[in-house]
Amino acid sequence: MKILIIEDEPALRETIAGYFLKEGFICEAAEDFHVALEKVTLYEYDLVVLDISLPGGNGLEVLRQLKKIHPETGVLILSAKNSLDDKIMGLDLGADDYLTKPFHLPELNARVKALLRRRVFKGSPNVVFEEIEIDPMNNVMQVHAKPVELTKKEYDLLLYFITNKNRVLTKAAIAEHLWGDYMDLADNFDLVYSHIKNLRKKIMQHGGNDYIKTVYGMGYKWV
């Protein structure tokens, strides 16, 4: 899997690249408009993470050029501007997803994985982790090949954990992933905890192992 990260902020670029390297991706990076344009014209990527506000030009122009040459490449837009116009224009130009800064790295990872599942595997190979199998297209989950009834949130949570396996998921990242704008309230009510408790229970009831480990003071980890 080859991905290109177009981001002008060096610290952010390195962190994102480092994160995806750990996922086993081949990562390339571009720091400004011209380098980005050059790379998308010369090489082919499975996915491009694109920051819209770039020095030297507009990220949307890079997207336009990219879609002309390689329409099959997946694109995820990053932007500090929480602007509806940018979002609509980006999606109109063929971007697949949109993430507003500041974002959680596991969120970016989950979005990228989902995007790749849709784009690269055309359809959906099931997500498998040991005895657990998820069919993301049909929102079905099985333990030892037996279906398990999960609520929508529990299902999302499980998928989020597995796409981010071996990574620490903070409570804030989980709350934002599951509840979006209502994350504050969810955080306040300790909903993350109760959902994890229920998910754990359901998997174990069906003979699965407990893979969710608590990271003290931080969150949880799927190992």
Partner 1 sequence: MKLLDKNNRIFIRFTAALLLFGSVLFYITVNYITRSEIDEKLEVSQQRAISFIQNGQPAPQFSPIVEVQIISEKTTSTGYSDTMVYDPIEKEDESYRQLISEENINGKIYRITNRTSLLESEDLILAIGGCTSALALLLFAWMYSRSSKRMWEPFQRHLDALRQFSLAQNEPITLASSKITEFEELRTALQQLTEKVRADYRNLKEFTENASHEIQTPLAIIRSKIEYLIENEAVSGEQMATLGTVYEAANRLSRLNQSLLLLTKIENQQFGERSPVSVNTIIREQVEMLGELTDSKNLQLRTELANDLKVNANQALVEILVKNLLENAIRYSQPNDAIFIKTATENITFSNPGKAAIEQPDRLFGRFQKQNNNGTSLGLGLAIVKKICEVNGWQVGYEYREGRHEFTVIFSC
Instruction: Kindly state whether residue 120 participates in binding partner 1, applying the rule CB under 8 A.
Output: no
Q: How far is the CB of 80 from partner 1 (least distance, A)?
A: 4
Convert residues 12-31 into a mask of x (bound to partner 1 by CB under 8 A) and - (unbound).
Answer: x--xx-xx--x---------
Instruction: Kindly state whether residue 172 participates in binding partner 1, applying the rule CB under 8 A.
Output: yes
Q: How far is the CB of 174 from partner 1 (least distance, A)?
A: 12
**What residues pair up with 134 in beta bridges, in sequence order?**
127, 141
How big is the CA angle at 135 (ends 129 and 136), to the nearest 5 degrees?
105
Stretch that binds partner 1, among 66-74, 99-107, 124-132, 137-145 (CB under 8 A): 99-107
Site for partner 1 in 29-88 (CB under 8 A): 80-82, 84
Q: Which of 21, 26, 218, 223 binds partner 1 (CB under 8 A)?
A: 218
Q: Which is nearer to partner 1, 26 or 185 (CB)?
A: 185
Q: Which is nearer to partner 1, 41 or 194 (CB)?
A: 194
73 within 8 A of 47, measured Cβ to Cβ:
yes
**What residues pair up with 27 in beta bridges, in sequence order?**
3
User: Could you tell me how many residues make up the chain?
Assistant: 223
User: E strands, the chain, where?
Assistant: 2-6, 26-30, 47-51, 53-54, 57-58, 74-79, 97-100, 127-129, 132-135, 140-143, 146-147, 168-170, 212-215, 219-222
Q: In angstroms, what CA-CA distances link 23 with 80, 158, 187, 214?
A: 25, 18, 28, 21
| Binding positions for partner 1, rule: CB under 8 A | 9, 11-12, 15-16, 18-19, 22, 80-82, 84, 101-106, 153, 167-168, 170, 172-173, 179, 181-182, 184-189, 191, 194, 215-218
